[in-house]
Amino acid sequence: MSATRIPAKLISIFGCLAGLVLMSGSFAAGSAQRVVTCPYLKSGLQFDVPAKFGDMPAIDFDYPAKASQFSLRDGNLLLVAMDESEPSRVRIVISAQLNKTRGTYDGQILVDMGGNQMQLYNGSVHCKVASGAATH
């Protein structure tokens, strides 16, 4: 009665593949959600960076708003969010560039905090990107 032997090369290949699978799972579990925090006036805006490139972040704002443009790459942060019930009405615009010295994205923010009438705030903003989950 002879036992079938698995060649040593196959064992090493299976070992490497199993190691890669285990490593990829630990990286996915260990990677934390990135959160953008942009203080302005006495309040601020905080939202999670989408995990998938091209997806839009969920925005928690005084009025229901939906992101229509979002980019966080190449040292630039861009967010444009529109009113959910009136999609032609801009609610939030952030345009900022990475300040490597401070570790913040510095630029401009425009928000419409008004109900039936526009109530605009336009000023400077210093956004931080950190690991964690946004607290809405």
pLDDT at residue 43, rounded to an integer? 86
The answer, yes or no, to whether residue 105 has pLDDT greater than 50, is yes
Please state, in angstroms and rounded to a whole number, the distance separating the CA atoms of residues 81 and 97.
18
The answer, yes or no, to whether residue 39 has pLDDT greater than 70, is yes
Structure tokens at 6: 């698995």
Please state, in angstroms and rounded to a whole number, the distance separating the CA atoms of residues 80 and 40.
16
DSSP, residue by residue, 23-42? HHHHHHHHPPPEEEEEEETT
What is the dihedral angle through the alpha carbons of 57, 64, 80, 132, rounded to the nearest 10 degrees? Answer: -30
State how beta strands 65-73 and 34-40 pair: unpaired
pLDDT at residue 6, rounded to an integer? 54
pLDDT tens per residue across span 112-129: 999 888 899 999 999 999
pLDDT at residue 13, rounded to an integer? 46
Of residues 134, 131, 135, the one with CA closest to residue 30:
131
pLDDT tens per residue across span 44-65: 999 999 999 999 999 999 999 9
Pick the more confident residue, 30 or 127: 127
